[in-house]
Homo-oligomer: A and B are copies of this chain.
Amino acid sequence: MSEIRKDYVTDTWVVISEERARRPKDFIRPRPATNGGVCAFCEGNEKMTPPEIYAYRNVGTGPDTKGWWIRTVPNKFPALKIEGRLDKNSRSVFTQMTGIGCHEVVIESTDHSRPIALMASWQVRELVEMYRERLMDLSKDRRFKYILIFENHGQEAGASLEHPHSQIIATPMIPVQVAGELRGAENYFTDMGGECIYDTVIREEIESSKRLVFENSSFVCITPFASKYPYELMILPKRHCSSFADCSHEEASDLASILQKTLHALHTILDDPPYNFYIHTAPVNSREFPFYHWHIEIIPAVSKMAGFEKGTGFFINSISPENAAVHLRSYGQESNAGADGQTATAGTNFRVPEAS
């Protein structure tokens, strides 16, 4: 019997329908051919990108030259541009604004072929630091209401370049997806006399262990109860906090560790699948959001959104989050290598919950 589940926070539902027992290999899809040619994100090709905004680089090296380990540059084909005035106009049912915002690219390392799952662990820590610094810097522009940090990995997940990179888009309004989470979280907070819904989720998921994938001192990684997509994951800080910008130095390090462990698990059991992840943090330049709890959502791009999902917003997921969690937790056993040499330390400090 299939089951319909409601998202904790928003008023969206998902059908969990496992007609046939699904194993990770059922979700592995043929990989498209990679595009050859010169990579604008590789070291030595700094002049091929727009001038850099900010970089972590060796002392004495100048902007747009070699010597960096993480580099943030404007997107060459930005969806939204930073120059101009924010004009809004409405005529009858037609409302439009100028496309003010910004669109940056974070080049995650000089290594063209090593995604986060396989990077040196110090590099992932630096990347998390870069995300946080860009978020804080962009928040200063009062025209922006939201800043989304996200990664598209693999062509099927929308990445047009292979070299590991993330993107940051700042928008002049709070996006509908985030607005829905804020509304749901605020309602729960009000109804429960100041209790955070995400805190409840974390407590329940640690207690039951059924959907708990990884855990360290500061974070949990779970498969959400109403997962819309196969092997969907959520990383949440244990400490209640509405903004990713307020991470402590120790939390940032724990985040790097659990993010890499999670992406490495996906890499192993789904054979380097295409995926998207994004950070859901509180809006900027707006009111306070004491009821919100920032988190990261990770979505492997292994299923297709078809007419039913597009027409209803109601998803059909062919693997239960409980089974997905079992597969993900077991990844150490399925991969002989575990993490590669450079990431060998990424696994320390982890407690793998026992299967219930």
Taking Cβ atoms with an 8 Å cutoff, the residues of A that contact B are: 1-6, 8, 10-13, 15-17, 19-20, 77-81, 84, 92-99, 146, 148, 150-152, 156-159, 167, 169, 171-173, 175-180, 188, 197, 200-201, 204, 225, 276-278, 280, 297, 299, 304-308, 310-314, 316
Contact = CB atoms under 8 A, between A and B. Distances in A.
Nearest to A208: B94
Nearest to A228: B310
B175 A312 contact: yes
A311 B280 contact: yes
26 contacts: A3-B96, A4-B97, A4-B172, A8-B93, A8-B94, A11-B176, A11-B179, A13-B173, A13-B176, A15-B80, A17-B99, A20-B77, A92-B200, A93-B197, A93-B200, A93-B201, A93-B225, A158-B304, A171-B314, A175-B313, A177-B313, A178-B312, A180-B313, A276-B310, A278-B307, A297-B310
A2 B306 contact: no
B99 A151 contact: no
Given A80-B2, A99-B1, A99-B4, A277 B307 contact: yes
A299 to B, nearest CB: 6
B148 A312 contact: yes
Given A171-B314, A306-B158, A308-B167, A204 B4 contact: no
Question: Which of A1, A152, A304 has the most chain B CB within a 10 Å cutoff?
Answer: A304
Number of copies: 2
A281 B253 CA distance: 50
Q: Main secondary structure on chain A at its contact with chain B?
A: mixed
B97 A3 contact: yes
Contacts of A188: 93
A202 to B, nearest CB: 11
A47 to B, nearest CB: 21
B17 A307 contact: no
Contact of A177 (B175, B204, B312): B312
A68 B146 CA distance: 55
A234 to B, nearest CB: 12
B95 A171 contact: no
Contacts of A94: 5, 8, 204, 225
A62 to B, nearest CB: 29
A310 B274 CA distance: 14
Given A1-B84, A4-B80, A4-B172, 20 more contacts: A1-B81, A1-B98, A2-B79, A2-B81, A5-B94, A6-B95, A15-B80, A19-B77, A93-B201, A148-B308, A150-B306, A151-B307, A157-B307, A158-B305, A171-B312, A176-B314, A177-B310, A276-B306, A276-B310, A278-B311
A324 B197 CA distance: 43
B146 A312 contact: yes
Contacts of A180: 313
A159 B156 CA distance: 17
A278 B2 CA distance: 23
A321 B169 CA distance: 23
A156 B11 CA distance: 28
